[in-house]
Structure formats: structure tokens, C-alpha cells
Amino acid sequence: MAKNPENVNNEDTPEVKPAELQTKLCEICDKVGSTRCGACKVSRYCSGSCQKEGWSKHKLVCKSFQEYSDFGRPPSKGPGSIFRRAVLFHPDEEKPRFVWVEFKREDIFGDGLLYDNPQLKGFGIDAGGIHYILENARLGRELPHCLLVRYRDNFMNDGSKVNKAIWKTLRSDVKNKTRDWRGPVLVYGLEGVDHEPVPSIDLDTSDFRDIVDWLNTRE
């Protein structure tokens, strides 16, 4: 599918809309998304031209999402254990992909409150690097939930490799301006910020678009 030559005009920043409306909007512009991707059945678009505009990024994970359907969710490993769908940017892989991440409901801070705690060691990520994505700055949208970006805290100095999968998502005009992402990067979702005990959630291809937009607007 060829990329639409007409770019979305974002000169006027649209008003941030209530989070509950975001799942019905086009991923590329600020109109209602009346159609969905025929393959993943999730990503919404207002027109064929917007779908073509988004295809270069959407195609990176559309098939992967289909392979990580709810039917393939791993079984719980015990009380308080659940697996959620997340997005992995592996430094040695050419594109990002969906993965299952185990969360354990634990009293992390010793205050009697139970948090969904992601098990990150299997992905080669320490507990240090974290960033919260709460809105899509390109479209001026509040997100319906919180996206958490996790990475090695000292990836610039610990010998981590350049992250090829993230590089694949960046626009050509951004590649020399954004941070030099290195090492594995994992993005998962929570119903709210984790300052309070909120449930973890599954991510899908519409979340991936928000992640891509964040990567392309972060310096």
C-alpha cells in the first residue's frame, strides 16, 4: 500500500477531547474514525487517504497483533498473576512487535496496597528508566489510559546497542533530532498512573500509533 502524499495538517492544535472519545477517532487526524483496518479490526480511520498515511507505521505491528489474540494469552502462574499484551522494541530486531508480559499483584511499597507489577527481567530491562505517556501531543488528545515506557536507566553508557526497532518508527526528519534510543524498550498500559493501584491493561494497534507519535515528538 502506497503512502498518501498528502500529510495531515496539524498547524492548529486541536482541543484535547475527553479520554472516552479517543477510541472512536481516526488515528491520523481529528475526525471520527468510521472504518477500521480490515486485518487487525482495531485501528480506526476516517478515510482511505488517512489509512494510507498511517500504513507505513501500522504495517509494522498489524500482523504481530493478530498473532497475540486473547485466545493465545498464557495462563496465570498463580494468585495475583496475569499476562497483558504489550509492545516490545528489541534492539536486534528490525521492527517492534507485541509480546505477553506477566504482571504480579504485589504490595510494592509496604503500605498494604496491591499494584500490578510488571516482570521486566526477561526483557533485559532494569527498574530504572520510565516515562509516562498521557496524551498524544501531535493530535492534542488525552489518552484513554496511561502508557508506560520502560528502558534501561543508563542505556547511553552501559554498552547497549542502538535500537533498530525504534529507528524503524521514526520519520526521516526526526532521526537526527530525537534521543539515541539504545537497548530494549517495552511499553505497557495501565488504566491510570501507577501512583495509585490501578489495573494493567492490554495494548493494541491504536496504542502503537500513540507510541509512534510520542517517539516522533520527543527530543
For residue range 41-83, what is the model confidence (pLDDT) as tens digits? 999 999 999 999 999 999 999 999 999 998 899 999 999 999 9
What range does the domain containing 74 cover? 63-217
Q: Provide the pLDDT for residue 126.
A: 80
Look at residue 12 and tell me if it is in a domain.
Answer: no
C-alpha 205/C-alpha 203 separation (Å) is: 7
In a domain, 46, yes or no: no
Checking if the pLDDT of 37 tops 50, the result is yes
Q: 115 vs 4, 88, 186, 198, 209, CA distance in Å?
A: 43, 22, 18, 7, 27
Domain total in the chain = 1
Domain annotation covers residue 20: no
Q: 13-22, pLDDT tens digit by residue?
A: 344 455 556 6
Contacts of 146 (CB under 8 A, 6+ apart): 132, 133, 134, 189, 190, 191, 192, 193, 194, 198
The reply to whether 42 falls in a domain is no
**Among 131-145, 172-186, 201-215, whose mean pLDDT is lowest?**
172-186
Give the per-residue pLDDT at 19: 53
Residue 103 gets which letter from DSSP? E
Q: Report the sign of the C-alpha dihedral through residues 91, 166, 164, 89, in that order.
A: positive
The answer to pTM > 0.85 is yes
8: nearest Cα among 43, 39, 51: 51
Specify if 130 maps to a domain.
yes
